[in-house]
Amino acid sequence: MTDFLEILRCPLCAGPLFRADGCLRCADGHSYDPARAGYVNLLPPGRKNNAKTGDEREMIRARSEFLRCGFYDPIDEALSADLSSVLPQADADAPLRVCDMGAGEGYHTCKSTALLAEKTGRHVDVYGFDASKSGAEAGCRLAKALGFLPKEGIAAPMEAWNPDSPVRAAVLPGNLFHLPVADASMHAALSLFAPVAWEEAARVLSPGGVLAVVSAGREHLLAMRAVLYDEVRLTDFHPAPPEDFSGFTLLGRRTVDFPVTLSSQDEIAALFMMTPFWHRTGDAGRARLASLDRLAVTASAEISLWEAHPCSSPS
């Protein structure tokens, strides 16, 4: 069994990290203590997001509960199916290494890779990174509950990791624009409803590796938007790398539509909180949504797959 930590890098000097006295260290003496939740904070010092506001915790809790009801599982199904059909077959005995850039509370991180392991018959090592410590906390809790992470957390000795688990997973505080992982170390990178760091994804992917970007489709949650706003404008948005960046070739793009029937105000509020509408809706729209106890919406997710161009790989 390869060491799960093998590809992690110090966010300060980019040196390899190793276990020492229960924490992670690099050869330059930078040291990272494990948090009780099981993660190690790899956000560069000074840019740490130490916010632990009640609001943020409440939001993470609502999102976790919503996702665990399986409402968005069609995304994980489609994403894992698409990825399994394009990932390189070489080195099939080694685990597939995947990073989730902006993993939130780790639900899709764990769910999509569990399905990927099932579909490919391969073990998957997945590293989720998010700027939010509360997200990482929830992600590690979920990974532990699924048996993907040892109870002692990421700094646990290798023997503590379950060799039979199809997936090994951890969600760590980290900046998706400066991932604390080695160059060319990943077979796949995921970006779900998060800022897309194209150049960073190209750096961490091995040649032929695939970046999967999931974004909101044109008519995503239209019925909810119709409640929130007097006028709904439909705009097409298709994520793509900057024009002067030749690091990726588009392999394919498709939209997955599926119904989501919300049958309580709690479920409606949880979904609302997960959307960008949460920040940009006025009082009247909020009040209209808060008066509902049932809402049927169609979720629409665009999945685009991008192959890392061999020429762009770091030497």
Ligand X SMILES: C[S@@+](CC[C@H](N)C(=O)[O-])C[C@H]1O[C@@H](n2cnc3c(N)ncnc32)[C@H](O)[C@@H]1O
State the residues that interact with Zn ion by CB under 5 A: 10, 12-13, 15, 26, 28, 30
Residue 22 binds ligand X (CB under 6 A): no
Nearer to Zn ion by Cβ, of 15 and 88: the residue is 15
C-beta of 72: minimal distance to ligand X in Å?
8
Query: Cβ(128)–Cβ(139) under 8 Å?
Result: yes
Spatial contact of 9 and 16, defined as CB atoms under 8 Å apart: yes
**Interface with ligand X by CB under 6 A: which range of 26-34, 112-120, 123-131, 246-254?**
123-131
Minimum distance between the CB of residue 86 and ligand X, rounded to whole angstroms?
20
Task: Specify the long-range contacts of residues 238-246, CB closer than 8 Å, at least 24 apart.
Answer: 238/302, 238/304, 239/196, 239/213, 239/215, 239/302, 239/304, 240/304, 241/198, 241/306, 242/198, 245/198, 245/199, 245/202, 246/309, 246/311, 246/312
Q: How far apart are CA 262 and CA 224, in angstroms?
A: 11
Rounded Cα distance, 222 and 299, in Å: 8
Footprint of ligand X on 150-179 (CB under 6 A): 175-177
What six digits make up the tokens of 30? 């930078």
Residue window 264-283: x/- pattern of binding to ligand X, with contact defined by CB under 6 A: --------------------
Q: Return the structure tokens found at 112.
A: 């999509």
Cα distances (angstroms) measured from residue 133 to each of 45, 55, 60, 211, 251: 13, 13, 11, 24, 34
Using rule CB under 6 A, residue 195 touches ligand X:
yes
Partner whose binding site includes residue 297, from ligand X, Zn ion, none (CB under 5 to 8 Å by kind): none
- Chosen residue from 9, 97, 108, 122 binding ligand X by CB under 6 A: 108
Nearer to ligand X, 26 or 274 (CB): 274
Our CB check for ligand X shows the closer of 98 and 150 to be 98
Residue with token string 């290798």:
158
Select from ligand X, Zn ion, none the partner in contact with residue 195, using the beta carbon and a kind-dependent cut-off of 5 to 8 Å. ligand X
Under the binding rule (CB under 6 A), the answer on residue 139 touching ligand X is no
User: Can you tell me which of 102, 139, 180, 285 binds ligand X, judged by CB under 6 A?
Assistant: 102
Q: Give residues in contact with ligand X (CB under 6 A).
A: 102-104, 107-108, 129-132, 135, 175-177, 192-195
